[in-house]
Amino acid sequence: MKCPICQWPLTQEHLEKSLVWKCESCGGQLTSTALLRKLTETKPVTRMWLRAKRREGSEQRKCPSCAQPMQEVPLRFDGGELWLDVCTSCTLVWFDPHEFEQLPDRTPAEGTSLDDELTPVDKLPPEAKKAVVEFEMEMNRRATEIREMGQMTNVGWTPDTWWQWVLGFLGLPLEQGVPKPDTPPLATWILAGVITLITALSYPFLEKSVMKFGLISAQWYRYGGLTLITSFFLHAGATHLLGNVYFLLVFGDNVEEDLGVKRFLLLLLAATVAGDFLHIALMPESTIPSIGASGGISGVIVYYALRFPKARLSMMIWIYYYFRWIRIPILLYVVFWVGYQIFIATMEMKGFSGVSGTAHLGGAAVGFAFWLWRRVSEQKAPS
């Protein structure tokens, strides 16, 4: 787990009465609500928890365990209050630097001592207590995932804005379950604007533009191989353009924040070129121009799905006057998407498809490689 303030890995620390996770960089601390009730008065903790469950607070930080937004709510006690970040999924509470020390000690009930209130878990050795706490956290996470999975195919949900209905009727999915980036995804927005502008400028003489700047497998070396890149910015029409730009905007913002601008653009470039070369390798004699940004965007989609596995997509299923909204996990969506691309690539090589499934699969492979690199580099980070 990483600090929600400075992203430094958290380390476990045994206190006299509980187990906490501490950031050695900024001094912030993390503990569970169950342990918090043992440290301080129970009623204020319960009130704080109910406020968080009712989502009465603001969402300032992400949970170090599940990356979902935490609710910033007050813990009020005699003599003051602390504004703490609470994750209702993992039952974890985050303390900013120097807040944990301000907790008032718990006072025993009249006629008793704190030792009288110890539970069997409290009497365990530190290592055993740690194992119990980690087990409780894992069970809470799994219970949350089970509840979410039960809601993912819930057909009772409907959009509350007109533009979401429009996207649904166009067959485009709505992203859910992933918080929006903390900073504006400028690279994603600028790239989407450039793609739209170039496609619009080329549209009056589209056929000539495609033949000149599209990727032709049998002549991929034209202009020193520049068509490997120029084909990325051309699209065959409004539908082709809308689909690619929409998926870039939906998935690109989180990927840009996660990787940073330079690595995000590198992912797009590598996925585009890899998709082009797989297309060339499997169809070396083809003289049909290939255009579109979908090869590069395929890498972004796969990276997003693996990096944010709790995300889900809401889609409209409609036939004539019958329609229903369904929600599916992003990983399930990508599994079906990859299978469909394999089918398209097979049809493409037989000459029955005008969509380059091979380019999509090449880009998807790069997205997987970037995710794998990211995961390995995080495991090697200092702890």
Give the three-class secondary structure for 183: coil
pLDDT at 131 over 80: no
Mean pLDDT of 315-330: 82
Q: How far apart are CA 116 and CA 271, in angstroms?
A: 63
* pLDDT computed for residue 32 by the predictor: 85
Reported as a single tens digit per residue, the pLDDT across 22-77 is 888 888 999 888 778 878 888 888 888 888 888 888 888 888 888 888 899 988 88
Task: Provide the 3-class DSSP secondary structure of residue 143.
Answer: helix
The Cα 41–Cα 80 span in angstroms is 13
**369 CB-near residues (< 8 Å, 6+ apart):** none
Token digits of residue 248: 């870039």
Percentage of the chain modeled with pLDDT above 90: 35
Question: Rounded mean pLDDT of the chain?
Answer: 83
- Long-range contacts made by residues 142-146, C-beta under 8 angstroms, separation at least 24? 144/66, 144/89, 144/90, 145/310
Residue matched to tokens 């787990």: 1
d(CA 212, CA 150): 51
Report CA dihedral (131, 133, 135, 136) to the nearest 10 degrees.
160
Q: Which of 248-252, 337-341, 379-383 has the lowest mean pLDDT?
A: 379-383
Per-residue burial over 165-174, b if 16 or more Cβ lie within 10 Å, else e, is: eebbeeebbb
CA distance 144 to 155: 19
Per-residue pLDDT at 150: 47
Q: How confident is the model at residue 152 (pLDDT cuts 50, 70, 90)?
A: very low
Mean pLDDT of 333-353: 85
For helices 238-259 and 294-307, give the axis angle rounded to 10 degrees. Answer: 40
Upper half-sphere CA count for residue 269 (Cβ side, 13 Å): 7
pTM: 0.62
Sequence-ordered strand ranges (E) for the chain:
10-14, 19-23, 29-32, 58-62, 69-77, 80-87, 92-95, 174-176, 312-319, 322-329
More confident residue, 52 or 18: 52
pLDDT of residue 242 exceeding 90: yes
Tokens encoding 71:
């609710």
Between 188 and 7, residue with greater pLDDT:
188
Q: Residue 305's pLDDT band (boundaries 50, 70, 90)?
A: very high
Q: Any idea how long the chain is?
A: 383
Among candidates 299, 311, 39, which has minimal Cα distance to 177?
311
The rounded distance, in Å, linking the Cα atoms of 101 and 104 is 8
Distance CA 141, CA 145 (A): 6
Residue 101 structure tokens = 């020390």
pLDDT value at residue 155: 47
- Find, among 199, 210, 184, 269, the residue nearest to 241 by Cα: 199
User: Per-residue pLDDT averaged across 5-22, rounded?
Assistant: 78
User: Distance from CA of residue 92 to its chain's centroid?
Assistant: 20
Work out the pLDDT band at 154, boundaries 50, 70, 90: very low
Catalogue all structural domains in the chain, each as residue range(s) with its CATH number: 10-150 (no CATH), 157-379 (1.20.1540.10)
Residue with token string 């003289």 = 287
Q: How many of the other CB atoms lie within 10 Å of CB of 216? A: 18
> pLDDT (tens digit, 9 = 90+) per residue, 181-239?
878 999 999 999 999 999 999 999 989 999 999 999 999 999 999 999 999 999 988 89
